[in-house]
Amino acid sequence: MRYQTQKVAYPFFIAALVLFAAQVIFGVVAGAIYVWPNLLSEAMPFHIVRMSHTNLLIVWLLIGFFGATYYLLPEEAETEIYSPNLAYVQLGLFVFAGAAALVGYQFGIHEGREFLEQPLWVKILMTISFLMFLYNGTMTLINGRRTAISVVLMMGLWLAAIFWLFAFYNPANLSLDKMYWWYVIHLWVEGVWGLIMASLLAYLVIKMTGVDREIIEKWLYVIVGLVLFSGLLGTGHHYYWIGLPGYWQPVGSFFSALEVLPLFAMVIFVFYMFWRGSRNHPNKSAILWTLGCAVMAFFGAGVWGFMHTLSFVNYYSHGTQITAAHAHLAFFGAYVMLNLAIFSYALPQLRGKQPYNQVLNMWSFWLMTSGMAFMTFVLTFAGVIQTHMQRVVGQRYMDVQDDLGLFYTMRLGAGVVVAIAVLMYIYAMLGPAREQLPAGAPHLAAGGGVKGNP
């Protein structure tokens, strides 16, 4: 850690990890209700559990991105964070808003659009906090050196905030409501968050491989170009059946199919750079999460996304367990693993230690990743059967669900494994630190950049 104010990131990472644990626990409860349908049906009905699960996910991912930005901006901009105090206030506000929403949900206080259930005043607080963050980051950037990584990252965050404003627009016409709703949901995860993902991966790769910045930044621009060229019109894959014109079927199918390209490019990018890089970085767990992120994002978003994105497939699979399967692996691969990679890389430096508890961390990687993969497989099987029985044969929804019990039980099992892995990860990162350097490389320091390539 070369700049004092990088330590601002520490409380962000802790908050994110605590909320991550809560998110997964709500997920397990939701999975349990699928298996034992009478569970909590009065005290905490399924819809409350589900909105808690998904909202916690979004909130902790954003807090992780904020923290990551505060961590890398000083190094990239070669200057201290504009105002550390503003960062702490902003974090407090965001956590307060998120926690207030979560508590309110348990008492039935919520709005009613999926993922945007936060009451109006919570949305406003989150917007204020987000703007404070953007101000702080942008001022830091203005005061310092502007690199491709920091510019693309801040651009992604700015655009995320701008598209978020559509959360405040809720037309009475349901088709319009849905059309603009996707401005937030799709344009986030398959648009501007792609800029965040690519730039954070590029940062990790520069730090851990020592490959020339010039080369990495060129790749970065190519990747984010592919993200937006495909992802903007790719929104059309949500516009097939909600009352919008028929031309979205060819347009959405074509462009969303191209969304696989940037995801594939990211896999090639990280593997090529680690292969080419000369540097034997001691933080093996951070390397593992970085490579894993690109790979699992490619499978979850790219392969599982492509599986149901063409309009003639989506006609049958739309809104089935296939969607749930894809949603889980995509979010996990692209954004959960991205955050966990950053935490694994940065926390040792924030705590002033050499990489620690690496073995436990890597065990949690394999356990969590296999758990999510297994969950995705069983949901995919369930979804294929559901699609066939309900959409092709025409059986009633509830009758079909009765036949899927085995898959839901297996999903719950996978979910419990994931929850255990998450607790292992948190313990490895925040618990007592046992330094574990790979044999033969104890002299390598984890922090800082490579000589001549800051």
Partner 1 sequence: MIEGLTRNAARNIFFGGSLFFFLVFIGLTAHSHYYVVTTSTDHAGLTDSVKHGKHIWEQNSCINCHSLLGEGAYFAPELGNVWKRYGGEHSPAGARNALKIWMRIQPTGIEGRRQMPGYDFTEEELDALIDFLEWTSRIDTQGWPPNISG
Given the rule CB under 6 A, which residues bind ligand HEC? Answer: 45-47, 398
Q: Under DSSP, is residue 53 helix (H, G, I), strand (E, B) or coil?
A: helix
Residue 116 amino acid letter: L
Q: Which does 336 bind (CB under 5 to 8 A by kind): Fe ion, partner 1, ligand HEM, none?
A: ligand HEM
Of the pair 2, 146, the CB lying nearest partner 1 is at 146
Q: Under DSSP, is residue 450 helix (H, G, I), strand (E, B) or coil?
A: strand
Q: Does the footprint of ligand HEM cover residue 237 (CB under 6 A)?
A: yes
DSSP 447: S
Minimum CB distance to partner 1, residue 42 (Å) = 8
Quote the tokens at residue 25: 């626990």
Mark the segment that binds ligand HEM (CB under 6 A) among 124-132, 139-147, 152-160, 414-422. Answer: 414-422
Alpha-carbon span 368 to 174, nearest angstrom: 38
Alpha-carbon span 194 to 181, nearest angstrom: 18
Minimum CB distance to partner 1, residue 25 (Å) = 17
Q: Under DSSP, is residue 356 helix (H, G, I), strand (E, B) or coil?
A: strand
Sheet strands (E) in 117-267: none
Q: Which does 324 bind (CB under 5 to 8 A by kind): partner 1, ligand HEC, Fe ion, none?
A: partner 1
Of the pair 398, 439, the CB lying nearest partner 1 is at 398
257: number of Cβ within 10 Å: 16
With vertex at residue 42, the alpha carbon angle to CA 37 and CA 47, rounded to the nearest 5 degrees, is 70
Residue 221 amino acid letter: Y
Please identify which residue in 8, 17, 53, 269 interacts with ligand HEM, judged by CB under 6 A: 53
- The residue at minimum Cβ distance from Fe ion is 186
Minimum CB distance to ligand HEC, residue 46 (Å) = 4
Contact 103, 48 (CB under 8 A): no
Q: Which residue is associated with the tokens 């406003």?
A: 124
Alpha-carbon span 320 to 400, nearest angstrom: 11
Please identify which residue in 77, 301, 347, 400 interacts with ligand HEM, judged by CB under 6 A: 301
Minimum CB distance to ligand HEM, residue 450 (Å) = 30
DSSP 144: S
Please identify which residue in 11, 305, 348, 355 interacts with ligand HEM, judged by CB under 6 A: 305
Contact residues toward ligand HEM (CB under 6 A) are 24, 27-28, 30-31, 34, 50, 53-54, 57, 114, 189-190, 237-238, 256, 259-260, 297, 301-302, 305-306, 308-309, 314, 318-319, 323-324, 326-328, 330-332, 334, 336, 411-412, 415, 418-419
